[in-house]
Amino acid sequence: MLNPDLKLNPKLFDQDVEVKPTRAGYGEGLLALGEENPKVIALCADLTESTYAHLFAEKFPDRFFQCGVAEQNMAAIAAGLGVSGKIPFMSSYATFSPGKNWETIRTTIIYNNSNVKIAGHHSGIMTGPDGATHQATEDIASIRSWPNIKIFVPCDSIEGKKATIKSASINGPVYLRFSRDKTPIMTTDATPFEAGKISVFWVSENPVATIFSTGYMTYYALLAAKELQRENIQVVVANVSTIKPLDQKNILSLIEKTKSAVTVEDHQVAGGLGGAVAELLARTLPSPIEFIGLQDTFAESGKPKELIEKYGMGVKSIKEAVRKVIERK
């Protein structure tokens, strides 16, 4: 059942559950930060409305910098702002930033330890009809090996707002990952958000597997958990909103109980959440693990829900992965 301690959205499983893109949380969080902290600056590379930075730009035009289609320049300008006492937030699509400007970020923000927050939007196949050029499905993998960065992947717009606000109080580089399409609201304003901690959204009395999910995919994991419950397979679902640093302690304590894991993410299965969990388990508590995500392929244009089914990331696939991982124990 849904964890009653977390004050999750009571209408979560309803047909008419409220939907909103996680990226809206970025815009709302940034606007709130702008009001409370004059050091907060926003930059964008010609995708101001798409990344919801327009909410900040309209209210605080003097603290917003339009960089044009120039992601490298945006990153290094942000680096200069960040070492000069400001808290810059830069947003674009994740394929371009941190995609196109990967080395600029590595040198001028990460190694240079500049206090920059990098918002990668349109992540995953949830980007839909724009096609694989605009679906960032390797962004986590491409930056997770950087020292000195924190990675947040909010599960809904409410968590997106909280993660954005939280990132401003962290002194150093943070990556925030958002998706384009409207997805169900799972949390409420009262749901706790703690950076660096997993959150067990679905609890069972005698779970036999743990599903670790991140981003909006936690919704699909919850649907799978609910259906599995009816089939007498008990699981727990942990929402992993911080990919780095990984909440090793609480992940291991769940694996000690369930002895198996399924990871669920809208990202390549290599190098993302699945990779992070697999590295931890291999090092500490070797256990069977199955990976839901893009299986070493690019996706294509289509409606997000169609793509999720076609690429084996839907409820049915998650349930199959759970059955398979239990058999492997």
Partner 1 sequence: MASELNDEKLKDLKLKANQIRQLIITTLLEAGSGHSAGPLGMADIFTAFYFHILNHDPKNPNWEDRDRLVLSNGHICPVQYATLSLAGYFPKEELKTLRKINSRLQGHPHRASLRGLETTSGPLGEGLSQAIGMALVGKLDKKNYRIYCLTSDGEHEEGNTWEAVMFAAKNKLNNLTQVIDRNYIQIDGNTENIMPLDPLKEKYESFNWNAIEIDGNDIKSFIEAIEKAKSVPDKPTIIIARTIPGKGVSFMENDYHWHGKPPNKEEAEKALSELETLRSKLT
Which residue numbers are catalytic? Answer: 71
Q: Residues 213, 198: contact at Cβ < 8 Å? A: no
107 is a site residue for partner 1 (CB under 8 A): yes
Please, what is the minimum distance in Å from the beta carbon of residue 276 to partner 1? 26
Three-state DSSP class for residue 317: helix
Q: Residues 65, 77: contact at Cβ < 8 Å? A: yes
Q: Residues 142, 96: contact at Cβ < 8 Å? A: no
Q: Work out the end-to-end distance of the chain between its first and last CA atoms, rounded to an integer number of angstroms.
A: 24
63 is a site residue for partner 1 (CB under 8 A): yes
Residues 181-210 vs partner 1: string with x where CB under 8 A?
------------------------------
> Which position has the token pair 């990202």?
267
CB closer to partner 1, 86 vs 244 = 86
- Please count the residues of this chain forming the interface with partner 1, following the rule CB under 8 A: 29
CA distance 9 to 24: 18
Identified binder of partner 1 from the candidate list 18, 46, 65, 270, rule CB under 8 A: 65
75 is a site residue for partner 1 (CB under 8 A): yes
Structural tokens at position 32:
């709130």
259 forms bridges with which residues in the sheet? none
How far from 204 is each of 107, 254, 259, CA to CA, in Å? 45, 12, 15
214 is a site residue for partner 1 (CB under 8 A): no
133 is a site residue for partner 1 (CB under 8 A): no
Of the candidate spans 17-25, 53-61, 81-89, 219-227, the one that interacts with partner 1 by CB under 8 A turns out to be 81-89
CB closer to partner 1, 73 vs 248 = 73
Q: Residues 261, 281: contact at Cβ < 8 Å? A: yes
How far from 208 is each of 115, 194, 231, 318, CA to CA, in Å? 42, 26, 13, 14
CB closer to partner 1, 111 vs 145 = 111
Identified binder of partner 1 from the candidate list 16, 36, 85, 232, rule CB under 8 A: 85
Q: Residues 101, 129: contact at Cβ < 8 Å? A: no
Please, what is the minimum distance in Å from the beta carbon of residue 71 to partner 1? 9
Q: Residues 42, 88: contact at Cβ < 8 Å? A: yes
Q: Return the residues of window 3-42 that contact partner 1 according to CB under 8 A.
A: 41
CB closer to partner 1, 87 vs 198 = 87
Identified binder of partner 1 from the candidate list 86, 144, 161, 180, rule CB under 8 A: 86
Q: Residues 96, 73: contact at Cβ < 8 Å? A: no
Q: Sign of dihedral through CA atoms 189, 192, 194, 198?
A: negative
Residues 40-59 vs partner 1: string with x where CB under 8 A?
-x------------------
Identified binder of partner 1 from the candidate list 73, 142, 250, 301, rule CB under 8 A: 73
Identified binder of partner 1 from the candidate list 108, 157, 204, 268, rule CB under 8 A: 108
CA distance 43 to 75: 9
Identified binder of partner 1 from the candidate list 67, 165, 174, 240, rule CB under 8 A: 67
Residues in touch with partner 1 (CB under 8 A): 41, 62-63, 65, 67-68, 70, 72-73, 75-86, 88, 103-104, 107-108, 111-113
